Amino acid sequence: MSSQPSDRDAALSAAAGALRTFVVLWFGQLVSLIGSGITRFALGVWVYEKTGSATQFALIAVSVSLPGLLVAPFAGALVDRWDRRRVMLAADLGAGLGTLLIALLYWSDALEIWHIYFVVASGSVMSSFQMPAYIAATTLLVPRRHFSRSSGMIQLGQASAGVVAAPVAGALFTVIGLGGIILIDVATFLFAVATLLFLRVPTPTTSTAGRQARGSLWQEAAYGWGFIRKRAGLFGLLTYFALLNLAFSIAVVLVVPLVRSFTSVAILGVVLAIQSAGQVTGSLALTVTGGPRGRIRGILVCGWLIGLAMLLVGMRPEPLWVAAGLFLMMFCFAFMNGCSQAIWQSKVPPDVQGRVFAIRRLIAQVTTPIGFLLAGPLADVVFKPLLVDGGALAPTVGRFFGVGPGRGIALIYVCLAVAGTISTIWAASKPRLRHLEDELPDAI
């Protein structure tokens, strides 16, 4: 009997090494995400305390999302041209230098509001390079059967950062101030960079799609759109998520005013914690179970449940009722996002995932800032007057939902539940979307 290891043993050893690399990569990015979340929270508090303006406070959220979306197609094309590990290194270093600049300006008493917008916007651009590179690297490191689990882990990291950042930043802000918090963020960036320095991410082989995609930067940036548009199942899935993201963004923005309309700030904090726990639990469930075998079926089932969750939130002005609906909503969104990510990783060749995923992010998330902008006027101008004493719907709809503070927002949630359910019915009626996993061959 030969003493040489078999090809199967060598393959298993290589796969185990790649999985270890992914775990180290994931942990480094998790630490960095927590540091970034703490800093964003602290910067928001500093801006609001300095200006007292809700508008200037809200502009931080716009600076976090909009610049990255605008450059996403070009970032994705460049990610596919360059080494993914080096892209992540450069993105982490760039974001860390921006954060350090804020610290230096703060300590020199020269920090202005526009400095924060500029650095946060720069970080958004860095993220538009970092995230496609991160997911594309994950595709090369994780076996296809574990894509759902790795997607769950990535979402678990993002959800955990969201849960940890606000309470930690709140506790530290009064003790070490903005400057100390920013130093912690810089340290987390350096930790992420250190992990990347010692990792090796494989280079994807050139596929037929990759050869077809070659051209100028403009052509490669546009290739992602052409790739998706030619595949009706993927295009339908992307459209469905864009519709859900519109409803979801409105729902998330209105949680605070809804809950505050009938209970205290302390209870609001508990409700928000339960909401975040739903996202963590959904991500953890996907990581542990690997998700359903029929991922499209899992996505559609979650879509139905999200409609039910939004209905629960709006039905009764009781903290437990609202918290249960928010928990279910966040659980399902985390679960279905992970299933969707696994489908995209399986169906898109690794060497073009940067540009395809960038366009995917642009289309799916462009409805999010639209939802943020719509939420306030819908609540204050359209729905609130309908369910006050003497409002147009007070004698009819008011019998079921009540009349007074917050009930107009409650009606918005019910409308969002109906809209989300209609979107899911539409998605389920599309054969190319329903049969996407079987009809579109795997690229991995």
Domain boundaries, the chain: 8-203, 230-444
Residue 267 is predicted with a pLDDT of: 77
Range with the lowest mean pLDDT among 33-47, 54-68, 225-239? 54-68
Q: In the prediction, which pLDDT does 133 show?
A: 83
Taking 60 as the threshold, does the pLDDT of residue 2 lie above it?
no
> Cβ atoms within 10 A of the Cβ of 20, count?
12
Question: What is the per-residue pLDDT for 324?
Answer: 94
Nearest in space to 185 (alpha carbons), one of 86, 109, 98? 98
At a CB cut-off of 8 Å and minimum separation 6, what does 41 contact? 165, 166, 169, 170
pLDDT computed for residue 1 by the predictor: 46
Q: What is the mean pLDDT of residues 214-237?
A: 83
Q: Which amino acid is at 2?
A: S
Count other Cβ atoms within 10 Å, centred on residue 385: 14
**pLDDT, tens digit, for every residue of 248-300?**
888 887 887 888 788 876 677 678 778 888 888 888 888 888 888 889 999 99
166 band by pLDDT with thresholds 50, 70 and 90: low
CATH placement of domain 230-444 = 1.20.1250.20
Pick the range with the lowest mean pLDDT from 87-91, 211-215, 356-360. 211-215
**Do the beta carbons of residue 244 and residue 370 sit within 8 Å?**
no
How does the average pLDDT of the chain come out, rounded?
81
**What whole-number percentage of the chain has pLDDT above 70?**
87
* Cα torsion angle, 104, 106, 107, 109, sign: positive
Could you check whether 8-203 and 230-444 share the same CATH topology?
yes
Indicate the pLDDT class of residue 3, thresholds 50, 70 and 90: very low
57 pLDDT band (50/70/90 cuts)? low
Q: What is the pLDDT of residue 444?
A: 63
Tell me which of 9-13, 35-39, 184-188, 435-439 is least confident.
9-13
Close Cβ partners of 379 (under 8 Å, ≥ 6 residues apart): 254, 257, 408, 409, 412
Ranked by mean pLDDT, the top range of 32-36, 163-167, 408-412 is 408-412
Q: What is the pTM of this model?
A: 0.75
- pLDDT score at 326: 93
- pLDDT tens digits along 382-395: 888 888 777 788 77
Between 239 and 182, whose confidence is greater?
Answer: 239
The CATH number that domain 8-203 falls under is 1.20.1250.20
Cα–Cα distance between 56 and 278 in angstroms, integer?
30
Range of lowest pLDDT (53-57, 92-96, 346-350, 410-414): 53-57
pLDDT at 426 over 50: yes
Percent of the chain with pLDDT over 90: 17
